[in-house]
């Protein structure tokens, strides 16, 4: 009788345990966001501003996390200008995050070296934003 009761309780609680596990996973902040830029531009368009605003909202719900901002640019004829563009892109995203309420001491800004990989033209015109644990 006790074994049958335990089996019934286990069967009844298994779906509840699954739901709780899924809800715990849903509470985790998506970790990486990508903001794309036009060629040779460091200006945020409407879509990019929306992504940054979403990150700021997630950061507000996860105040212990650090917002990592990594700027990228494709390698063209002038590597120093391309590196500067990566820095400018990261900076403009950082400024928008701060304007949207993310404290400056919760943002780490990192430019990446210009990429020379084939097929990376669009992918190099980006900033990646990640919410990381301190």
Q: Give the model confidence (pLDDT) of 11-54 as tens digits.
A: 554 444 444 444 444 445 557 999 999 988 999 999 999 999 99
Report the alpha-carbon distance of residue 125 to residue 49 in Å, rounded: 15
Rounded CA Rg of the chain: 21
pLDDT for 73 equals: 85
Q: Running DSSP on this structure, what letter comes out for residue 68?
A: E
The residues spanned by each domain of the chain are 1-28, 31-132
Q: Is the pTM of this model over 0.75?
A: no
Give the per-residue pLDDT at 30.
54
Q: What's the rounded Cα separation, in Å, for the pair 25 and 94?
A: 27
Tokens of 55: 């990150």
Helices (H), the chain: 2-26, 46-61, 79-99
Concatenating the DSSP letter of every residue in 77-101 gives S-HHHHHHHHHHHHHHHHHHHHHTT
Pick 34 or 78 by higher pLDDT.
34
Q: Which of the residue ranges 1-5, 8-12, 41-45, 96-100 would you say has the lowest mean pLDDT?
A: 8-12
Phi-psi region of 101 (alpha: psi -120 to 50; beta: other; left: phi over 0): left
B/e letters for 21-57, b = 16+ CB within 10 Å, e = fewer, are eeeeeeeeeeeebebbbeeeebebeeebbebbeebbe
- Candidates 56, 88, 67; CA nearest to 130 is 67
| Fold topology of 31-132 | 60s Ribosomal Protein L30; Chain: A; (3.30.1330)
**pLDDT (0 to 100) of residue 3:** 56
């Amino acid at each position: 009788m006790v074994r049958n009761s335990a089996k019934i309780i286990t069967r009844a609680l298994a779906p509840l345990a699954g739901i709780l596990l899924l809800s715990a996973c849903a509470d985790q902040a998506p970790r990486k966001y990508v903001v794309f830029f036009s060629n040779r531009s460091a200006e945020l368009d409407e879509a990019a501003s929306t992504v940054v605003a979403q990150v700021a909202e997630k950061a507000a719900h996860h105040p212990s996390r650090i917002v990592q901002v990594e700027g990228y640019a494709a390698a063209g004829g002038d590597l120093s200008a391309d590196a500067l563009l990566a820095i400018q892109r990261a900076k403009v995203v950082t400024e928008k995050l701060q304007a949207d309420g993310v404290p400056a001491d919760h943002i780490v800004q990192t430019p990446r070296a210009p990429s020379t990989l084939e097929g990376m033209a669009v992918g190099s015109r980006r900033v990646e934003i990640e919410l990381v644990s301190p």
